[in-house]
């Protein structure tokens, strides 16, 4: 992978960057995504944000090697703190847990004023991002699920709008967990992921049944059984 050829996961993220964006890539690592977006004409300018010294230095070197110093600013800082108010029109956050992505968005809400699109790629717990989007007025516009190197990734694209619109006519809780668009498509990767998760929940429920029964364990088992039932309904 380099600034001219991204991984399958990041290539899909890049597809959702609107033409002419001012891109902020948070947790940019080697800054491959912002370099690619600028080279391909997706972004006019970009900011690559990194909180860790090593990746920050790697991003600086990559931008310099690509000859993009005048169009990509590499900044060291925590989350959206690297941005000026109303600076970026498109924000990408990829390769982190959903809980961390939601926390970054929550802590940096004051930097989202100019943002027209969020493209978020959680490694796990995408449901936590969907909850944040609903609670903060962002409408989920598209979702992707894909497999790369035997790992499954989800990509969520959101814009300011009607946050509950994607969940109309469906079980909202199921939509938050499985993804309203992904539930409708039910591609092979989606089925693979949730069959695996269902088996995991079934093992947990069995372990709970074999243990000492308390109100707490009974509640946890009931939760597991509810998740299993919901998965069975979605996968049927």
Q: Are residues 221 and 115 in the same domain?
A: no
Q: What is the number of domains present in the chain? A: 2
Q: For 52-107, how does the pLDDT look when each residue is reduced to its tens digit (9 = 90+)?
A: 999 999 999 999 999 999 999 999 999 999 999 999 999 999 999 999 999 999 99
Q: Is 117 exposed, middle or buried (0-12, 13-18, 19+ CB in 10 A)?
A: buried
Q: Are residues 151 and 203 in the same domain?
A: no
pLDDT in 10s for each residue of the chain, 236 residues: 666 789 999 999 999 999 999 999 999 999 999 999 999 999 999 999 999 999 999 999 999 999 999 999 999 999 999 999 999 999 999 999 999 999 999 999 999 999 999 999 999 999 999 999 999 999 999 999 999 999 999 999 999 999 999 998 778 999 999 999 999 999 999 999 999 999 999 999 998 988 888 888 889 889 889 889 999 999 98
Q: Are residues 123 and 31 in the same domain?
A: yes
* Residue 26 falls inside a structural domain: yes
Q: Are residues 76 and 22 in the same domain?
A: yes
What CA–CA distance (Å, rounded) separates 82 from 47? 8
Q: Are residues 127 and 228 in the same domain?
A: no
Q: Are residues 137 and 225 in the same domain?
A: no
- The domain spanning residue 143 has which CATH number? 3.40.50.150
Query: Please, how many CA atoms are within 13 Å of residue 42, restricted to the half-sphere of its CB?
Result: 19
Q: Are residues 106 and 25 in the same domain?
A: yes
Q: Are residues 128 and 163 in the same domain?
A: yes
* Residue 36 falls inside a structural domain: yes
Q: Are residues 13 and 125 in the same domain?
A: yes
Q: Are residues 39 and 138 in the same domain?
A: yes
Q: Which residues contact 112 (CB under 8 A, 6 or more apart)?
A: 80, 91, 105, 118
218's tokens: 């009974």
User: Which range of residues forms the domain containing residue 116?
Assistant: 8-171
Task: Read off the pTM.
Answer: 0.93
Q: Of 115, 141, 171, which residue constitutes the final position of a domain?
A: 171
* Residue 2 falls inside a structural domain: no
């Amino acid at each position: 992978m380099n600034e001219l050829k991204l991984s399958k996961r990041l290539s899909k993220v890049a597809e959702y960057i609107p033409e002419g964006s001012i891109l902020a890539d948070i947790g940019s690592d080697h800054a491959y995504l912002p370099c690619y977006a600028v080279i391909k004409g997706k972004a006019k300018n970009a900011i690559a944000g990194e909180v860790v010294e090593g990746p920050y230095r790697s991003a600086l070197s990559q931008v310099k090697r690509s000859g993009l110093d005048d169009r990509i600013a590499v900044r060291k800082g925590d989350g959206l703190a690297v941005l000026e108010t109303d600076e970026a029109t498109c924000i990408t956050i990829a390769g982190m847990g959903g809980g961390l992505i939601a926390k970054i968005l929550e802590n940096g809400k004051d930097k989202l004023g100019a943002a027209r699109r969020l493209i978020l790629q959680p490694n796990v717990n995408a449901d936590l991002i969907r909850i944040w989007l609903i609670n903060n007025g962002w409408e989920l516009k598209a979702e992707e699920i894909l497999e790369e190197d035997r790992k499954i990734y989800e990509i969520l694209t959101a814009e300011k709008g009607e946050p509950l619109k994607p969940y109309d006519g469906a079980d909202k809780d199921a939509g938050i967990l499985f993804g309203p668009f992904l539930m409708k498509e039910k591609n092979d990767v989606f089925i693979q992921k949730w069959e695996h998760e269902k088996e995991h929940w079934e093992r947990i429920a069995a372990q709970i049944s074999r243990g000492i029964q308390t109100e707490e364990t009974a509640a946890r088992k009931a939760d597991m059984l509810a998740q299993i039932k919901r998965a069975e309904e979605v996968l049927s």
